[in-house]
Copies of this chain bind each other. A is one copy, B any other.
Amino acid sequence: MEHLEYQEGRTEIGHLGKVALIDRLTDGFERRNASTVKGVGDDAAVLGTGATKTLVTTQTLVEGIHFDMMYTPLKHLGYKALAIAISNLAAMNATPKQALVSIAASNRYSVEALEELYAGIRLCCNRYDVDLAGGETVTNRMGLVITVTAIGEAAEEKITYRSGAKLHDLICVSGDLGSAYCGLLILEREKVTYQANPNFQPDLDGFDYVLERYLKPEPRMDIVKLLGEKGVVPTSMIDVSGGLASEMLHLCKASKCGCEVYEERIPIDYQTTRVCSEMSKNMLPVSCALNGGEDYELLFTIRQSDYETVKEMSEVHIIGHITEEGSAAVMVTPQNTTIELRAQGFQGEE
């Protein structure tokens, strides 16, 4: 009979970063099959022996950790759960094809509630041409846990890993950063006000963009498609699920390089700036971009020779460049001081 709590010499999971934890847990596993091209350590596994590879990724969302039922419509939640799994495939430069959805739900959830969740999943399937190909629904003791497995395809030579960035490559990011986190801040603020006074009507006017960014993110398949059409294969890529800082560090670590990111180049929406100024005079929009997370934009590097092509892409911003192995990952401020990037993130991301 086991007593987990009283174990001696225990290490708390929170003491390790997410990546360090996976590294420790998967230490000692061997590769046995030729069809396992890339296993643990990127946004998706790469499988198969042919020219077209199969990419597989899983993403788990836990109630009370990754979402709050107080302000998360189930339809949005279903959409988001699949969207962020697809985003992992986008980060590999792959095209999504199928998904399997496993749900553990307590008896607090009715069949009608799960139908709402599935309506969101269906919307996302239709939007991104993904087939729901399986999964299961089991009983949970408390709350809701959703695990989505997304499966995609890519030609071998198009697959983009975290590890391919080379010296002098340009660092690019799609869309804008920090807005999803600002959406979360607004929702948390309204929740607190509502809990103090249940007759209170939430005031979400003028925050539509940041709220949608948090509640219903879109994987940037449009960017994957555009890059493909223009013949640009990024040298490395990752999606921004944590903040820009932690994702940049992942790329640099995997690619064995440093980087310089220019603060003034980091794309930030005006609603993000507005939320920051409303929240606190000390809250900087760039901090939301660096540490907020959940933007699900694509962070990638390109060869200098692709500069002319990429600078024409209105949704892609060139924010810096790769520096040599051994150098730090830094942000350069408008005052030309450099600040070392550090992983903070939120919600259990490193």
- Considering only CB atoms, which chain B residue lies closest to A73 in the complex? B2
Residues of chain B within 8 A of A118, CB atoms compared = 25-26
Distance from A151 Cβ to chain B, minimum over Cβ atoms (Å)? 6
Q: Does A60 contact B (CB under 8 A)?
A: yes
Counted per complex, copies of this chain come to: 2
The answer to the question of A40 belonging to the interface, with a C-beta cut-off of 8 Å to chain B, is yes
Indicate whether A33 reaches chain B with its CB closer than 8 angstroms: yes
Q: Which of A305-338 contact B (CB under 8 A)?
A: none
A65-93 interface mask toward B, CB cutoff 8 Å, 1 = contact, 0 = none? 11001111110000000000000000000
Within residues 247 to 293 of chain A, which ones have a CB less than 8 A from any CB in chain B? none
In the complex, chain B residues whose CB is within 8 Å of the CB of A48: 54
Q: How far is the CA of A30 from the CA of B35 in the complex (A)?
A: 30
**Within A97-120, which residues are at the interface with B (CB < 8 Å)?**
97-98, 100, 102-105, 107-115, 118
Known: A60-B138, A142-B142, A348-B138. A132 touches B12 (CB 8 A): no
User: What CA separation (Å) do A98 and B45 show in the bound complex?
Assistant: 9
On whether the beta carbons of B111 and A33 are closer than 8 Å, the reply is no
Kindly state the separation between the CA atoms of A233 and B158 in the bound complex, as whole angstroms: 38
**Are B4 and A62 within 8 A (Cβ)?**
no
Interface string of A1-25 (1 = CB under 8 A from B): 1101101011111111010011011
Q: Which residues of A155-200 are within 8 A (CB) of B?
A: 191, 194
User: Does A69 contact B2, Cβ atoms closer than 8 Å?
Assistant: yes
B138:A62 contact, CB within 8 angstroms: yes
Q: How far is the CA of A62 from the CA of B137 in the complex (A)?
A: 11
Task: Determine the chain B residues whose CB is within 8 A of the CB of A125 once the complex forms.
Answer: 29, 32
A343 within 8 A of B: no
- A69, B1: Cα distance in complex, Å: 8
Q: Are A97 and B24 in contact (CB under 8 A)?
A: no
What's the Cα separation between A66 and B102 when bound, in Å?
A: 15
Q: Contact check: which of B9, B24, B31, B348 meets A131 at CB < 8 Å?
A: B31
Query: Would A1 and B57 be within 8 Å (CB), given that A39-B134, A110-B13 are in contact?
Result: no
Given A129-B33, A132-B40, A137:B7 Cβ within 8 A:
no
- Which chain B residues border A98 with CB–CB below 8 Å? 33, 35-36, 39, 45, 47, 56
A68 CB, min distance to chain B CBs, angstroms: 10
A118 to B30, CA, bound (A): 13
Q: Which residues of the other chain, B, contact A2 by a CB distance below 8 angstroms?
A: 69-70, 72-74
Cβ of A206 < 8 Å from any Cβ of B?
no
Which residues of chain B are within 8 angstroms of A97 by Cβ–Cβ distance? 33, 35-36, 47
Q: Whole-angstrom distance from the CB of A339 to the nearest CB of chain B?
A: 29
Q: Are A140 and B56 in touch, CB under 8 angstroms?
A: no
- Residues from chain B with a CB closer than 8 A to the CB of A31 are 131
Q: How far is the CB of A185 from chain B (nearest CB, A)?
A: 17
Distance in angstroms from A91 CB to nearest chain B CB is 13
Pairs of residues from A and B, 9 with the lowest C-beta to C-beta distance, nearest first = A10-B110, A45-B133, A11-B111, A147-B147, A36-B131, A39-B133, A45-B134, A64-B141, A25-B118
8 extra interchain contacts, Cβ-Cβ under 8 A, other than A2-B69, A59-B102?
Answer: A1-B70, A29-B132, A35-B98, A39-B131, A39-B134, A58-B135, A59-B136, A141-B142
